[in-house]
Amino acid sequence: MQSTLKNLSKKRGPWLLLAASALVLELCALFFQYVLKLDPCVMCVYERITMFGIIFTGLLGASAPHNIIVRLSAFLCWAISAVWGLLLAIEHTNYQINPSPFATCDFLPNFPSWAPLHEWLPWLLYPTGECSDIVWRFLGYSMPQWLIVSFAIYCAIFVFVAVTALLPTKK
């Protein structure tokens, strides 16, 4: 059992499952935007980008899971994307729970001038909503609160997979 867990990150399937799970969440976001007509805000756009980081991570890890450099790069991207996404979702939830005219999100994302992603992909990354508006709830929780759950799960799975990968090999 220990060797199976230890080698989890050396298999293509788990990395593809990671990418697929994040892709499903991205597709849900597009469903909410275009079918249910819920406008994404700036924080939603940032959260989408971190979810794309998880998709990239899964594809990177699946590209060469036996290559230590690729695997370590994928672990690094996974940790950054999951933690950054969690922090953004917490901040977004704070905008909703404690709305204030003094603490608001921007109207446009702060992308670098050399990469204005909201102009290149406006159908995906152009914000039209307000961060403090709660326009959807499921089981009493708003969308950013569900993203806290999602990113916390990604963080927990990362820790589990990373720790098991570091376990010593039984002889």
**Catalytic amino acids?**
41, 44, 48, 105, 131
Question: What's the N-to-C CA distance of the chain in angstroms?
Answer: 13
Please check whether residue 6 is in contact with residue 165, taking contact to mean a CB–CB distance below 8 angstroms: yes
Please check whether residue 70 is in contact with residue 9, taking contact to mean a CB–CB distance below 8 angstroms: no
